Structure 1
Amino acid sequence: MKKLSDCRILLVDDAKVNLDILVEGLKSDHKLSLALTGETALQIASRTPPDLVLLDIVMPGMDGYEVCRRMRQIPETAEVPIMFLSSLEEIQNKTLGFEAGANDYLTKPFDMLEVKARVRSLLKAKAYSDEVKEQIATELRFAREIQMGMLPHDFIPVERDYGVQFGAVLEPAREVGGDLYGICAAGAERLVIFFGDVSGKGIPASMFMVRAISLARLLARDMAEPEHILARLNDELATDNPSGMFVTFLCAVFEPKSGRLTLANAGHCRPVLRPADAPPRWAMKNLGTALGFEPGMEFERAELNLRPGDSLILYSDGVTEAFNPQEECYGNDRLLADAGAFNGSSAPVITAGLLEKVRAFARGAPQSDDIAILTLQVNGTGGRT
């Protein structure tokens, strides 16, 4: 926990005599920064964020209320405690101060002992809060490492054995997320691919994601048909689901020697088929129903025949529902058009290129949802021999 003597206090008052009193009373216990105007205070706070602000209200130019409001809008000072020191003692003045975002309010003339006691209290509370946040951030970093470790990263053995190529990316909107993808070598003639998106974000979604991906891997080894895998996975998720969460899920089974790809969809985004010699199109029409609502559901299947050079692009709705600063949506039409720009490209290049297209469209707007893309491309080597 940060020592109180290492904490920096920003003192803001247009009256130099008040600053002198505060400096004399606090200089031996804390680091200090001084400002005679609200404008200067904002500049100092953004350049060197303090641990606490003691703020006058009546000042020339920008008053203390406005300084407080603006500090709450600046990321560096949004959670820094602010205490008003003001001669305004009416209840409406104090109310305005707290509504502006202040943590405390003390009227002038003040007693220095009381100021020091309140300063220590606010600084201790902030130090404890900062320590808790750092602990949570550390735990989330470990959780992200564990979650990302569950996803396949080395595709070389599968690519060699099944005559395919993969490109994959997953970028959670938060430290951890609910998007998932997986690949299961279920036999010499069967490669199972699945892709999903858990409802919500953050830790709850990531935990449900871990459960879904673990079950899918087990089921894929014993069941040959994608619609049956989805039906069984749905039963398992729906039977014990007190949180009421759900996951959209797409399962595909690829047979390397024949090139047959069998698909079943449980409410997930329609995959894009990118033939080697034709424009991109949707690989299937129906979306189906997401997993986890109720047991006993059935799912439809679709079949494709993939030839050398053909690609199948799986993605989450964080791609199509990405927004730019003008709140325009990336959308399905733009996805199809952009997918057509990678003629002759490898699976990793297609995946990275689409992600770059989405980022370019968003132009720095905050990522509102997890983004995941998995591209399967057929090489035509015929798989295992």
Structure 2
Amino acid sequence: MLLQTRIILFVLATVTVVAGLLLGFAALREDALDRRARELELARLETSWQLAVSGAVGRIDQGLGRMAGDAEIARTVEAEDRGALDRRVAALGIVAAPATGGITDVNLLSKSGELLYSTDPALEPQPLLNRGALDAILSGQKLARGVRLVDGERLVVVAGVPIYAGTGAGGGAGSGAGVTGAAVAGLDFVAALDVLRRTTGGRVFAVTRNGTVFDGQSDPLWPAVKPLVRPAERSIATIAGGGRRYALASLPVADLAGGRVATVLIATDVTQAVEEQALWSVAYVAAVGLVLLGALGLLYGFLRRNFSTLDGAVKALQDLSRGRAMGYVELPAGNDEIGRIAGAVEVFRGVMREIERSAGQRERRLRRQQRFIRRQMEALAVTLEEDARQNLLEELRQIEAETHDAQSAQSKGVGDELGLLALGFSRLATRVSTQQVQLTQMVRDLREALADKRRLISLQQELEIARTMQLTILPQVFPDLAELDIAARMIPAKEVGGDFYDFFPISEHKVALVIADVSGKGIPAAFFMLITRTMLRAIAESGVGPAETMRRVNNLLAAENEQMMFVTVFYGELDLRTGVLAFSNGGHNPPLRMTASGAVKELERTPGIALAAMPDMPFGEKSVTLDTGDMVFLFTDGVTEAFNGEEVMYGDPRLVAAVGGQANASARDGLDGVLADVARFTAGAPQSDDITCLVLRWRGAAEAPTAAVAQLADPVA
């Protein structure tokens, strides 16, 4: 883009921004004036409305003056004679028909506020004023003037005055007589609207507070007014109707109690004012546009005249830059910018001629340098790997081809050709350096891998020793007792596990059965398992019972549980004389009991949570009497939560079915049968948790249980 074009665009943008700011400020000023005018118009119309209400009240005051100044009415009100009041008000002829525009409603009230007379024919007419306004009149403090909603649907302009005792000849308020009652009269709301029409000259509409049109519905302008009705809003808007423009003012009307009862809308013809304002706006925008166009025209002529000489100088420079040193254009001399450019062009032409004379010598020197660099690069490429060497030689051939094209087309100088060769040499050096770094890193990684392998082998050996020790700690030999048949197995998910089982004697006639599951897996779970097993054995042998044993073990584990581990435990004590199994469950899976008939169901759950979770927790205890042939299957959640290749869980229903299929099997065969069913279900899927089971089958009480317990305590015997 030419410089003169950029200058014109810059000036155009600047002038446009300035013009936009002027128009924006003018619009803001016009909006402010318009808001001010709207507020003034609303204030004027509100004043007109107050004057209209005051005019209607003035008509009411004429009738009220006659009633309040009538001596007979004063005496009748004081005597509270309703019949006499009806006759006297009728004789005065104050009440007129609504069509005549006179007083339509009259109330006469006693000093206590009781309604003595009302023009309302209802059985229990409502007074025109509320109690607060009436008390102000009866106390002589304030006169009531304003709009009132009567019977919840009719709007009336009301006024009220006090009636003084002794009114008439020689009486009245000035004589010091006291207030004996009040007179209230009302005029139809339409009378105030008629006064408003005459004073404003506008088209008036009225809407009740529930949106019902009160007056003006027959006006042809009403369809345009209706969508803009906002009963609770004081506003002014512009509408169109019948080819004219109107300013629609919305004035909420409040009754004497302060609540809104209606909305008065006044439409004033502003067609001429709107048209004049639009014409002034168009004239202002047109004037700004003409000034902008004139300024741009003057700028364009000035730049075109002054830049024509500069265009010739630019053309001469372009010819010199393309190597056409003889294509020089005569430029005017002088001390201005154009003359200085002409002198610079002459110097530049001399420099180009010198470059052309030395170009041949430089080209010969360049070729010698290229051959030297290529030999050096080929010598270095031999040290690279085969793939890297071939890639580098291919890049070298491409660089030579680009150099040849640059020389033949004369589109690049000597510096560019040497730059291409230097780039290739830089790539070669980078490849050699990268290969050296890679070889060094590979040697370092190999040494670290060998060290890691030695540590891994040592760790695997230690884990295998730990696995052997853990399995050795758990009972592996199951004595053949006359009372019961026992079998158990633990299959850890890792080298060591967190599950464990145990059975041991706690008295001459009782043996303990334990199965537990520590949270987590691996070495931490194995250590926690050993601690739990040791504590459980030590406390159980004291004979305090299952529930108390669980409580004490829980407190000991929770006291030093910095790692926040926990263990679920099922602990039971079997009496070999009676077959009664007393047990307590600390958050573990309830064991399954299979009767001799093959029915399988869970043992009852007892209150209790996992051990080591919280100290001082209570644990429940229950018991069950085993019948001859009953089998009890204790297990951890690794059995029911085993998954197959489709991520389907083994689950409790499958376990119940598998246990039910071992009705006639021994403890060992029943255990093998259930584990075989689990293995068939998982079908080689990775084991996700430790699997531990303990199975016992009750054969019935024996005649010499003491010998059986001794055999259980020392299986080798």
TM-score after normalising by structure 2: 0.38
Q: Which residue of 1 aligns with 2:541?
A: 221
After superposition, the C-alpha distances for 1:300-344 in whole angstroms (9 at most, x for unaligned) are: 112111122111110000000011111111111111111101121
Do structure 1's residue 118 and structure 2's residue 441 form an aligned pair? Answer: yes
**Equivalent-residue separation in structure 1 for 2:430 and 2:645 (angstroms):** 43
Alignment of 1:222-301 (within 5 A): 222-286=542-606, 288-301=608-621
Given candidates 662, 666, 680, the residue that maps to 1:360 is 680
**Bigger shift: 208-217 or 144-153?**
144-153
> In 2, Cα distance between the equivalents of 1:127 and 1:302?
58
Whole-angstrom CA distance in 2 between matches of 1:114 and 1:312: 67
Task: Give the Cα separation in 2 of the matches to 1:354 and 1:278.
Answer: 15
Q: Corresponding residue for 2:635? A: 315
Could you tell me which amino acid in structure 2 is paired with residue 253 of structure 1?
E
Alignment of 1:1-385 (within 5 A): 108-109=431-432, 113-156=436-479, 159-160=480-481, 163-286=483-606, 288-382=608-702, 383-384=705-706
Percent identity between matched residues is 32
What secondary structure sits across from 1:136 in the alignment?
A: helix
Supply the distance in 1 between the matched residues of 2:472 and 2:503 (Cα, whole angstroms). Answer: 14
Paired residue secondary structure (2:646): coil
Shift of 1:142: 1.0
Deviation at 1:284, TM superposition (A): 1.6
Q: Give the match's secondary structure for 2:618.
A: coil
- Give secondary structure in 2 for the equivalent of 1:265: strand
Shift of 1:294: 1.9
Distance 2:468 2:462 in 1: 10
Amino acid at match of 2:557: L
**Residues 188 and 384 in structure 1, CA contact (< 8 A), matched pair in contact too:** yes
Q: Deviations over 1:12-59 (max 9, x none)?
A: xxxxxx9x9659xxxxxxxxxxxx9xxxxxxxxxxxxxxxxxxxxxxx
Matches of 1:22 and 1:245, distance apart in 2: 56
Structure ranking higher on relative contact order (CA contacts 8 Å, 6+ apart): 1
SS of the residue 1:181 aligns to = strand
Question: How far apart are 1:375 and its partner, in Å?
Answer: 0.3
SS in 2 for 1:384: helix
Per the TM alignment, residue 223 of structure 1 is displaced from its structure 2 partner at its CA by 2.1
Structure 1 residues 47-103: Cα deviation after superposition (integer angstroms, max 9, x where no partner): xxxxxxxxxxxxxxxxxxxxxxxxxxxxxxxxxxxxxxxxxxxxxxxxxxxxxxxxx
Bigger radius of gyration among the two = 2
* Pairs aligned (count): 284
Secondary structure (helix, strand or coil) at the match of 2:541 reads: helix
Q: Is contact 1:262–1:302 with CA below 8 Å preserved after alignment?
A: yes
Matched to 1:234, the amino acid is: N
TM-score, normalized by length of structure 1? 0.70
- 8 Å contact kept, 2:551–2:619: yes
Give the alignment's Cα RMSD to 1 decimal: 2.3
Q: In structure 2, what is the equivalent of residue 65 of structure 1? A: none
Structure 1 stretches of 4+ with a deviation exceeding 6 A read none
1:184·1:220 contact (CA, 8 Å) conserved in 2? no
Distance 1:179 1:111 in 2: 53
Task: Describe the superposition over 1:123-166 as per-residue Cα deviations: whole angstroms up to 9, x where unpaired.
Answer: 1011111111111111111111111111011121xx43x62111
In 1, the alpha carbon distance for the partners of 2:686 and 2:606 equals 31
Q: Distance in 1 between matches of 2:548 and 2:440?
A: 67
The structure-2 alpha-carbon separation of the partners of 1:111 and 1:337, relative to structure 1 and needing over 3 Å to count, comes to closer
Contact 1:315 1:372 in 2 (8 A): yes
Unaligned runs of 5+ in 1: 1-17, 24-35, 37-105
What is the distance in 2 between the residues matched to 1:124 and 1:139? 23
Cα pair distance change 1:310/1:245, threshold 3 Å: same
How far does the alpha carbon of each residue in 1:195-218 deviate from its partner, in whole angstroms, 9 at most, with x for none? 100000101100000000011111
- Residue 72 (structure 1) aligns with: none
Distance 1:346 1:237 in 2: 36
Is the contact between residue 573 and residue 581 of structure 2 (CA under 8 Å) also seen in structure 1?
Answer: yes
Counterpart AA for 1:369: D
Deviation at 1:110, TM superposition (A): 5.8
Q: Which AA in structure 2 matches 1:144?
A: R
CA distance in 1, matches of 2:430, 2:571: 66
CA distance in 2, matches of 1:140, 1:107: 47
CA distance in 2, matches of 1:292, 1:248: 9
Letter in 1 for 2:679: R
Report the CA distance between 1:119 and its aligned residue: 2.3
Asked if the contact 2:554–2:611 (Cα under 8 Å) also holds between the matched residues in 1, the reply is yes
CA distance in 2, matches of 1:120, 1:200: 39
CA distance in 2, matches of 1:298, 1:285: 14
| Matched position secondary structure for 2:706 | coil
- Contact in 2 for aligned 1:219/1:233 (Cα 8 Å): yes
Q: CA deviation at 1:287?
A: 6.3
| Distance in 2 between residues matched to 1:225 and 1:191, nearest whole Å | 12
Equivalent residues of 2:566, 2:613 under 8 A apart: yes
What secondary structure sits across from 2:532 in the alignment? helix
Partners of 1:268 and 1:287 within 8 A in 2: no
The separation in 2 between residues aligned to 1:264 and 1:344, in whole angstroms, is: 28
Deviation at 1:122, TM superposition (A): 1.4
Equivalent residue, structure 2, for 1:13: none
Contact map agreement 1:270 1:287 (CA 8 A) in 2: no
